[in-house]
Amino acid sequence: MRLPVDPTAAYLVVLLWTSLPFTPAEPVLVLGGSWSATGALWLPLVIAASAVGSLISDLVKYAVGWYAGPALLARLRRRPAGARAADWVEARMRTAGAGVIVPSYFVPVGVVVSTVLCGALRLPVGAVVRASIVGAVLWSAMYVLIGYAGGRVTGDPLLGLAIGMPAALVLGALLARRARARSAEDRQRAAAATPPVSDPGSP
């Protein structure tokens, strides 16, 4: 199947789409990887375009957090997924700082919370950029390679997308389950470490 647009335009679509804050980009990455399996696109360049776009998106969210972080985090916490991600990120940010951005890429809504929180806490932009580059490259490579595998198996980029997206959704569900379990464990440890409040009237 022939790529319906010029390869340069396809790379730009990947870059621009992933640079949009608060927009799911996984389908675009899976499709880009699937087209790479046909030779129409160069796999490393698809990953690079996605990583650059993701870095831009992270910096936008960091800026949003800098100016409106508390209000935005309060809105995110109204949703169960947002509240879980906030708990997960905040528990790890105490020790990892901006480095929490790397694993948060693999937690639903996690990278949104982590980058906004980094801005709200005024963490150094250099540390945020370094962590975002690592997380963006790993995350982009994972989803693009899922699409690539689907394209290689089927020999058709659209069928590759049809196979790759369910695999990506299953992977996302597994990561979400793991994040919920880790968040629950963190809350239990925090509760166990909190000393009981003594009764002022007791001897």
The angle that helices 43-76 and 125-154 make with each other, rounded to 10 degrees, is 120
Task: Say whether 5 sits in a helix, a strand or coil.
Answer: coil
Q: Exposed/middle/buried for 114, CB within 10 Å: 0-12, 13-18, 19+?
A: buried
Read off the pLDDT band of 192 (50, 70, 90).
low
What's residue 90's pLDDT? 74
Tokens representing 58? 């992270």
Read off the pLDDT band of 179 (50, 70, 90).
low
pLDDT digits 0-9 by tens, 104-159: 888 877 888 889 888 888 888 999 999 999 999 999 999 999 999 988 888 777 77
Geometric angle at alpha carbon 14, from 12 and 20, rounded to 5°: 100
With a pLDDT cut of 70, the percent of the chain lying above it is: 81
